[in-house]
Structure 1
């Protein structure tokens, strides 16, 4: 069995625009890759009549796994792939806003592309997971527009450590977007212009490069999540007390929250503080 590392992402910024006719929302976001966190074990079956087998360990995944969809997509493109078995050692719960499932699918696609010499446009895989093109890029940080598939790759932000906290409650992406749209119809949340969102993201990227303290990073879902739980305000307040903390926010549409540090030791100390003071935390990591 071959073992493949799988990465996650956080959204350093996230601005959401009006829904498209297909139901998806255009976004402008600053992606940042972390990990690896999860691992895939893959082996090929010798019997061509065998069906693919996807085993998820630790966390049950209902319905068709995104890895199945990625494999089926490649076969529909005319790529001849043998049947295979994939074991996923899940650590991160669904609905955390960190793209763990897309990271799994991207890890599988990248491995298959190398083994079978597949020449594939990563943006084609956005229909399976909007952030898969970013995971397949070689960059650690990127500005993304469209539904997340149009990328401007940026120089890597190095020497920054992310304290990632996942609370014991999740929110589905569909539900988060529904509530955001409802609040906007009521006039509670404004939509920023696309040009402002891009300028904002690149300005924040520059400040992070210079290690300038920023504080709360912009994410249109913050107000939605604050209504769901007081966990986020408590987390943000604690982030502001740490000496080397740079910035903090939520990732994607939630439920994860993160805090960025310039010092790994300080991030590990903050992990201990967060764990002792926030009983809502289900999982907490320090990642680079």
Structure 2
């Protein structure tokens, strides 16, 4: 029998979460659930659990570069997702490597963990703005990351448009401003500057939300690798994340993870 064709290939460039709820681990679980082949370039190792981040150790930039090149030169890449990049040298290396890949890239500009632990050095923020965001097909900041990147404080739904305009000025093709921390319905704004799409969903009263941002960005990348355009990919990713969030479960003594395998457990795949 002939071999099965390879599925679409997605590379995540991010930190490792030893608790398995976010970071590289969440990315690879999401990619598997959505039918793509996940590959990884680890930027940092964290000692992390449901209570927070106890330690962070960055890999040398050359190690990050070598991982990216090993994957790209042999296997190939149909889409990229970036997460925790930690330091200015790592952000710079990733931006330069992405320039040669020619694949759509989803940038999750991770600044702090779910527990408030800093995951991006202060001197890396400007490199992220000037070198990485211009490479992004989609950038997916939450409201804290909007403030970090633009200085804009989003307090209501009308501020989403102002924040998105400021982010688009930094060079990404599309911006998805995640308004999940606003009161009322969960409202996100997706825009490329000419098309505005408001994604509104009923707020789920859930405690176990660890890994939500990583999961969303990875799901978008998976759908882009499968050939979807950006609006279609974002809508499909939102549907997946909403299901994962609804199925989140307690783990440890703190914030539990979303359920990346909810589709399988629900019998829909």
TM-score, normalised by the number of residues in structure 1? 0.29
Higher RCO (Cα < 8 Å, 6 or more apart): 1
Task: Report the structure, 1 or 2, having the larger helix content.
Answer: 2
Task: Report the structure, 1 or 2, having the larger strand content.
Answer: 1
